Amino acid sequence: MTDHHAALFRPLAIRSLELPNRIVMSAMTRSASPAGVPGPEVARYYRRRAAGGTGLIITEGVAVDHPAAVDNPRVPRMYGEAALAGWRTVVDEVHAAGGRIVPQLWHVGPLWGAMGAVDPAITPMRPSGRWGTVGTTSYPDDYVARAARLTRPMTEDDIAEVVAAFADAAVNAAELGFDGIALHGGHGYLLDSFLWPDTNIRDDRWGGDPLARSRFPARVVEAVRGAVGDELPIFFRFSQHKQQDYTARIAETPDELQVILGSLTDAGVDVFDASIRRFDLPAFEGSDLSLAGWARKLTGAHAMAVGSVGLGTSLRDSRIEGAAEVVDNIGEVERRIQTGEFDLIAIGRMHLADPALATTLRTGSPLTPFDRAVHEGNLY
């Protein structure tokens, strides 16, 4: 076997997590867990990617135990006897195939109701009661009209309950044998909604300048770190863009981003999962550094890039423009890892098309030709 893309196949240790390579399967919602319980099909799905050589699997978003955490009954939960038993099988299957797996803990926050009908008696969790100013979004007008109505801001009791729910979910994950914890802090969901000044206009300790806006997500990180101890790494997904507005930003300058990410680093984050629609887009004017590159430069923590790896355009854009193609941009990924811009590359849709993607890259075999049904496909 001839090894291609050697930089991608260097090992990496992060606390107790030892990775054989830098290839990560990115979190992708599958909606294949009826009543929130991952079944044998889910276990087979993750095991196939582990057996294919992927260094680390980050699961789809997993609901914490809070009434407004996730609005789709087919999204898996990290609580309840049946769901935890299902996850134990997933973890055991991945480990048996030689893989490592981390759950992405999730609370949708302001985006409650985007994935399905919801109980009107449940109040969405929003820092200031705001859904967010509507900008460039793919959500339908009828949902936006409903969601844009103001709700009550989160109370101190709400905040305490959500923090506890994340910590409890992390404990459950650790006890099941997961190899780390990932937190979804991007895309306009709950943790991110505190970082975004458009949805966080609070005038108490949880709102204000970038440092104050970072206090709630940092508190969640602190609680998770305290709950799981020092061995397991904590991943934190963040983004500039939001589902409410793809042009939104949490930081206008590197200095502002440093304040936010520095607070999260101090709280216990080990790896920043920098979500952007193309992994190589410059994050700020005057520099070619990607968002992941800035995260690593500003904090010294590990950084993971994601976005359109192997694709000529993001799938969101391709749905609008009516075209997409597979592009071998793996060499650019490798170059940026080699220069130390970021440490890991998370790949989503290409893992759906090719469960053995890591082996494909190692051997230099061709990438799977684009097929929307496969690259956006259901669980298999």
Q: Token pair of 96, please? A: 């048996």
Element (H, E) at 87: helix 81-96
Q: Report how far residue 127's alpha carbon sits from residue 120's, in angstroms, rounded to the nearest whole number.
A: 19
Yes or no: say if 212 and 141 are a contact pair by the CB < 8 Å rule. Answer: no
Phi and psi at residue 87, to the nearest 5°? -65, -35
Catalytic positions are 189
Say which amino acid occupies 36: G
Q: Report how far residue 215's alpha carbon sits from residue 116's, in angstroms, rounded to the nearest whole number.
A: 30
Task: Determine the longest span between alpha carbons in the chain, in angstroms.
Answer: 60
SS3 195: helix
Nearest of 293, 306, 320 to residue 348 by alpha carbon: 306
Pairing relationship of beta strands 101-106 and 56-63 according to DSSP bridges: parallel
For residue 275, list its beta bridge partners: 239, 306
SS3 104: strand
